[in-house]
Amino acid sequence: METAEKSDGRQERAGSNGSPGPVAPPRRGGRRAARALALTAPVLVFGLAVGLLSWNLRERLREQIARRDATVLHELALLQALSAEEESPAPGELGLPPDEALTELTLLERADRLQNAVQRLRGLYGARLYDAKGKPLATIPVFLAEKPLAPAQREALETGRPAARFLKRVKALDLYLTPGDAGLAADAALPILEVTLPLSGLSKKKPAGAAVLLLDGRPLVREFRLLDRRVLRQALAVWVAGSAMIVGVLAWAFGRMERTTRLLEARSRELLRANAELTLAAKSSAIGALAGHLIHDLKNPLAGLRHLIEERLGRADGAETELWRQALAEADRMQGVLQEVAQVLREEIEAVQYELAESELAELIRERLSPAAEKAGVRAQVVAKGKAAFTNREANLLLLILDHLGRNAIEATPPGGEVLVRLFPEGNRYAIEVQDQGPGLPESVRARLFQPIRSKKPGGSGLGLAIARQLAGGLGGELRLVRSGPEGTLFRLSLPARD
């Protein structure tokens, strides 16, 4: 093989050669992470929105439950007021204006009746009584702590509408002056439902006072817990269903985007490949024109040289006869190479198109290598295992590549050895391998494989593998060294899939 050292003559690839190479596949790790984030973020935001809405709904429902109890107690207070009016003297009989006829004693009596009625319905810790101006009048029981009206309670007194608020934890010391009298420990904490009920005067124009009832909040706590569980289950159901819908819609959208992206990437690769092929075609056109002129200028001198060698061979004798015979063989080989290159250029220029079967290509390779193999005492085998077809342009370029690789392999293989050329499909690609049984490539040669070098082989140019790799790129393929060692060297030419 063409070499910088005698043992072998191949060079290592070390950089770009300007030929169209395979386009690197897109990196998908970042795309998957971005898709996962895009799917997770809307689900989390939707979950946050559902949580906030559920919390607001929970609070409103709690308020409605508390107002429900306040409304029921207010209706009860109105019934007590009607009963009290039937038993009380008319305002005119007292000689007082209607609003003044409801005395503090009457308010206390009405609050006491309301307390007795409420106690029959549910637990009552006590009641506070206020006049029309919100001034505390009395507490029931007497050891219940007095408290001023809160703003919401004062509004209830002024508007005549009941109000309620739930207090989750009220300390016994804040509720009673002496918690022991109510049977409670000093550090006890109780849930309280605080209900403010306006008490109407005899004129029924405006409230004459208000009673604040402190009810046992434990039943309400149980109701709130049941409500919370229902709201939570409904919120989870809404979140799961909504998230599934969001993920489904986004997955569908991302699927369409992914298909569009793959289509754009495929078209981009096609455009890059087409651009590279146009660039290569432009270079090849210039090189082809130069090669055509060179071949034309070499044909006549080479024919004259061959004629001179034939004359000298006819007059030679002894040892000179073999030398001139070898010179004639080299001249014939040079003429064959020129004719082959001229044929390739002519078919390119005239756009001649035809196909060769894989078996036909294998036979041409065998015909090319057999003379050199017989001369070197080496067996050359060509094995075709597929049914691929090649255009005439592809076949011409492959013959140039394989002729060079095959001759290098024959030169590297000792007499009695074997050179094997295999053509076979490989997945979605097509491969051609050239294997010898030579001593392998020295490390110094591998360091510059496929680069133009100064060859130390007689008649070598140092350009063989560089040109072969350039031609492989013109076919959309890749020529690479698979292995090299004492057992031999293996080159592989990988091409796009064949029909």
pLDDT of the residue at 95 = 42
pLDDT in tens, 60-109: 888 888 878 777 776 666 555 545 554 544 444 434 344 444 455 555 56
pLDDT in tens, 225-282: 998 899 899 989 999 998 889 888 888 888 888 888 888 888 888 888 778 767 756 6
Q: How far apart are CA 133 and CA 136, in angstroms?
A: 9
Could you tell me whether strands 124-131 and 136-140 are parallel, antiparallel, or unpaired per DSSP bridges? antiparallel
Contact 294, 341 (CB under 8 A): no
Q: What is the DSSP letter of 99?
A: G
CATH number among 3.40.50, 3.30.450, 3.30.1380, 3.40.710, domain 88-216? 3.30.450
| C-alpha torsion sign, points 233, 235, 236, 238 | positive
Phi, psi of 289 (to 5 degrees): -65, -45
**What DSSP letter does each residue of 68-88 carry, written as one string?**
HHHHHHHHHHHHHHHHHHHHS
Average pLDDT along the chain:
77
Contact 213, 187 (CB under 8 A): no
Which residues lie closer than 8 Å to 368 by C-beta, 6 or more apart? 399, 402, 403, 406
How crowded is residue 304: how many other Cβ atoms within 10 Å of its Cβ?
10
Contact 388, 425 (CB under 8 A): yes
Which residues lie closer than 8 Å to 366 by C-beta, 6 or more apart? 380, 382
Q: How far apart are CA 215 and CA 309, in angstroms?
A: 130
Contact 410, 8 (CB under 8 A): no
Q: How far apart are CA 245 and CA 196, in angstroms?
A: 47
Q: What tokens were used for 34?
A: 């971005």
Q: How far apart are CA 146 and CA 126, in angstroms?
A: 11
Q: What tokens were used for 57?
A: 């709904």
Phi, psi of 216 (to 5 degrees): -65, 125
User: If phi over 0 gives left and psi between -120 and 50 gives alpha, with beta otherwise, what is residue 183?
Assistant: left
pLDDT of the residue at 348 = 62
pLDDT of the residue at 382 = 93
Tokens 């009695």 found at: 416
pLDDT above 70 coverage of the chain, percent: 73
* Maximum pairwise Cα distance, the chain: 170
Please state the domain extents for the chain. 88-216
**What DSSP letter does each residue of 298-333 carry, written as one string?**
HHHHHHHHHHHHHHHHHH--THHHHHHHHHHHHHHH
- The answer to whether residue 28 scores a pLDDT higher than 70 is no
Query: Looking at per-residue confidence, does 102 or 464 come out higher?
Result: 464
Chain-centroid distance of CA 406 in Å reads 47
